[in-house]
Structure 1
């Protein structure tokens, strides 16, 4: 039983009696991957990972995500990896939703429990292990770091959602807030992974239309989300991908808070030609 406040997948298969109609949507502007579609049959495996499976939520693909990939990792007791990242250019954020993850960064050991957050700069040495007695589940968001001449790479760090005070959006009386794990003015960072929180009934009161690409994983609660010209219902365990400039807004449905883990690319010039 998951005692964490965050939704954590457990896999399995639906019964043969279940209707096929679902909320899954894939368009040129956005995608919705409901939790019910993330069953055993859609899991993947990776080289150099032991006793581990994963759900791939997004990946760089024509007509889909362009700047990042996102996985939900499930590591059984005794599992993990001594060689987790094959790409030296990849930076990462890990966010634990259930269990205890032992993370070693450049020889320093950290134990991350639910809400645990780690930033791993490109090229740093890190390993992960599940030394506990239960499965651990965490999000792994990866991006190719865009270096800038004269700016050093960000430092690795570990924290927890519970230790970071959310920042209220102006004029919302705390009904809409964002948990910021890095300083938005720190130009070393080219991606932000935050947690957005809405109190029941709170809204994004306009159709946000901007250059950042988004990945949104619903950690808690439910809402009606505006994606391009459509309104869709989402709940804890669902995932949304939004292309740059896709209009977005939402109403938080209650009865509890609506919270999601949010990826966006930031702080870099727009590329004028393909590499």
Structure 2
């Protein structure tokens, strides 16, 4: 089944538009609406050609603590032969538009919309747009938490279309998760998944847990409970939730509500030292 993945294209607001928007930034969560992802807020990165990025989250006091997430837009012929400058960083790529060629250890991998890649730390990789149109993809970066006696996970490539979603128990398949990584694989310290809620489906309780979240809405719309507030979100919006922020959801339809989800997993909690 063909999927629709929303991706920003930039542009500018007109002088005749109202200032009122849906952007929210609190101590517990943030909502970055798709309308804020304009040309004026893009960033350029070292050693990337014909490329710009929308930075959705970054490690910052009072904001994301475990990860950073970009939406990358690469024009034809663009890309990078030195995409990652931090040898300790792992990465997850998810393509939402166009075609992307990732070369890892000399082997080319062609990625299309729905394509996913896990890139371990200290990997030898490059990325290029060899197509005729812009390529857009999410790039989630995290400092890998090494554990003595546990191997670093290997790189792999997949596509959402090849993975059967796992339904949540007692939901008749109305709430399901597409998992790119086996949740029992302790080598991984982050999970990037796709959550799908059919029209009328709900997350029926206020989830309150230690995992930090980044949620990018790929398709549809919903009303999301964040801490003490209900907020409306739609395709192209981004949400950050700090650890223990209560969350719930109601998918209003008319189509499926789907989002790309990041969370940190499988490691002890860091303890402060004096």
Measured against the shorter chain, the TM-score band is over 0.9
5+ residue gaps in structure 2?
none
2:35 match: secondary structure = helix
2:161 match: secondary structure = helix
CA distance in 1, matches of 2:15, 2:3: 30
Residues 122-141 of structure 1 aligned to structure 2 (within 5 Å): 122-141=121-140
Q: Closer, same or farther in 2 for the Cα pair 1:231/1:274, shift >3 Å?
A: farther
Aligned pair 1:205/2:198, yes or no? no
Q: Closer, same or farther in 2 for the Cα pair 1:161/1:27, shift >3 Å?
A: same
CA distance in 1, matches of 2:273, 2:154: 29
Structure 1 match to 2:190: 191
TM-score (norm: length of structure 2): 0.98
**Deviation of 1:4 (Å):** 5.8
CA distance in 2, matches of 1:210, 1:266: 11
**Deviation of 1:14 (Å):** 1.2
CA distance in 1, matches of 2:3, 2:185: 31
- Residues 214 and 244, structure 1, Cα contact 8 Å, conserved in 2: yes
CA distance in 1, matches of 2:4, 2:63: 30
CA distance in 2, matches of 1:124, 1:99: 24
* Aligned-residue CA RMSD (Å): 1.0
CA distance in 1, matches of 2:88, 2:245: 28
Structure 2 match to 1:37: 36
Structure 1 match to 2:254: 255
Structure 1 match to 2:52: 53
- Residues 4 and 98, structure 1, Cα contact 8 Å, conserved in 2: no
**Deviation of 1:99 (Å):** 0.2
Structure 2 match to 1:234: 233
Structure 2 match to 1:87: 86
Structure 2 match to 1:181: 180
- Residues 226 and 247, structure 1, Cα contact 8 Å, conserved in 2: yes
Structure 2 match to 1:145: 144
**Deviation of 1:274 (Å):** 5.9
CA distance in 1, matches of 2:99, 2:3: 11
CA distance in 1, matches of 2:272, 2:107: 40
Structure 2 match to 1:121: 120
Q: Closer, same or farther in 2 for the Cα pair 1:50/1:215, shift >3 Å?
A: same
